[in-house]
Amino acid sequence: MNYRHAYHAGGPADVVKHAVLARILVHLKNKPAAFRVIDTHAGAGLYDLCGPEATRSPEWRDGIARLLPAPMTDKARALLSPYLDVVRALNPGGELATYPGSPVLVRAMLRSQDRLIACELEPGAAAALVHNLGRDRRTKAVEIDGWTALNAYVPPPERRGAVLVDPPFEAADEFSRLAQAVETAHRKWATGIFLLWYPLKGRQESDALARRLRRSAIPKVLRAEVDFATAREPGRLAGCGLIAVNPPWTLADEMETLLSLFAGIFAGAQRVDWIARGE
């Protein structure tokens, strides 16, 4: 299935992706030096959960709406706090009506010295992205193909930061393109953090992606995957995976905690493992 941001806003896949992205931003903020985030397929940045797309595919009811009231350990609650604080700030009345895409989530966590480049090619989403980011001088919305942006904006001037690659997977070759793009980008910026998202539509594509990255020269590659109970429903996203290149040193343990919680809430299965672990 194709993954379009607006139709899946706040769903289980967004919860997984954004919780881990927030942890990476927390680690980047632990040092005073500025960093830059490059969001290659940013979408509109902000989503109305009562709008036509979210109403047509109300995955948020199985995602963020289940997570917010869920019982959890103190450790999990602390790890999720940076992400959930942003969600709650957008819904001050307590009733879920708005969900942040990755650009708005990142913007909320930037310091004055940090920067965001958010890229979106689809004209309607690109216009919405410009509006939703506003005139914040720390952010820049660019109407550009995400694959082109990945090559053009790496490495950033700050030399610290992260790249989120979250394509819609509308093309048959998107998995192989993902692997090739991150290999090329890593050669240009070997110290950057890259977070790659992909849908779980079957084992063939995701396993081939892992094998290619294992054969690459990239020394540190961490994988996390979670299956969703909605896999039993035709047309619903079966699960998702994340690959972190150059992950912060505590991220593997944090992923274990978070994905164990998510697997329980979303009635699925989870795994966290190293594709490559250079010393």
> Which residues form the catalytic set?
166
Determine contact, residues 151/184, Cβ cutoff 8 Å: yes
- CB within 8 Å of 6: residues ≥ 6 apart: 43, 44, 47, 51, 53, 54, 125
Element (H, E) at 161: strand 161-165
Which two tokens mark 76? 């999990």
Whether cis (ω within 30° of 0) applies to the bond prior to 71 is no
| Cβ contact 197:247 at 8 Å | no
**What one-letter code names the amino acid at 103?**
P
User: Could you tell me if 237 and 11 are in contact, meaning their C-beta atoms sit under 8 angstroms apart?
Assistant: yes
Contacts of residue 28, defined as CB under 8 A and 6 or more positions apart, other chains included, come to 35, 114, 160, 161, 162, 193
Report the alpha-carbon distance of residue 51 to residue 58 in Å, rounded: 10
